[in-house]
Amino acid sequence: MSIDTKATIKIGPFSRGGYSRQGSKGSDHDFEPEATLKLFGIHVPEKDENYLYFTESNVTADFMVDAIEDLWTSLENQMDLHTIVINADNGPENSSRRTQFIKRIVDFAKSKSIDVQLAYYPPYHSKYNPVERVWGVLENHWRGEILGSVNKTIGLAKTMKWKGKNPVVKIVDKIYKTGVKLSKSAMKTYERMLSRLQGLENWFVDILCFNE
């Protein structure tokens, strides 16, 4: 699966470029948005499926792994899975050195008895992450539209198509706190469960839990 967080979406009468289907015009000046939405996406290349998780809270390490766990409920009923490869950029919330992310993803792997491999793109190469193409399709889909409400934004996201398929779209109401982290001693315990590729220690991490 390919994961990424999209840039914050401002809700209000802001111009997004292009032409509105209804001929609506955006505001000609900047002001505070009525709300802001964060969007976390999961793209599953093997199935050409997309899962979009919106929140007005924070896309933290806990948010990301909660979304992966939510998706797992659907995938495990459709596929015989023993290994999940997660493609991601090395962002601050999902870095292989982000203690809370590592804790949560290791706990997930162990609870589901699956192997998880974290494969990160190096700086300035995240454009090769497949989910980035999904963001491009979404931007083209709502270009020119006035995202004047949360409901309209969610509705437009639901009608986007990727290779003929609409995404699964969910709104997450839970509040996520930033800055959650493990102590150094606790992280040492989790580090022993990881296998880091020599020479690329920050960029490819294997969590071997399937045979435990």
**Which of 180, 39, 30, 31 lies closest to 99, judged by CA?**
180
What's the whole-model pTM score? 0.90
> Where along the chain do its domains lie?
2-207
pLDDT at 27 (0 to 100): 58
Structure confidence by residue, pLDDT tens digits, 85-139: 999 998 999 999 999 999 999 999 999 989 999 999 988 888 899 999 999 999 9
Q: Is residue 161 exposed (0-12), middle (13-18) or buried (19+ Cβ within 10 Å)?
A: exposed
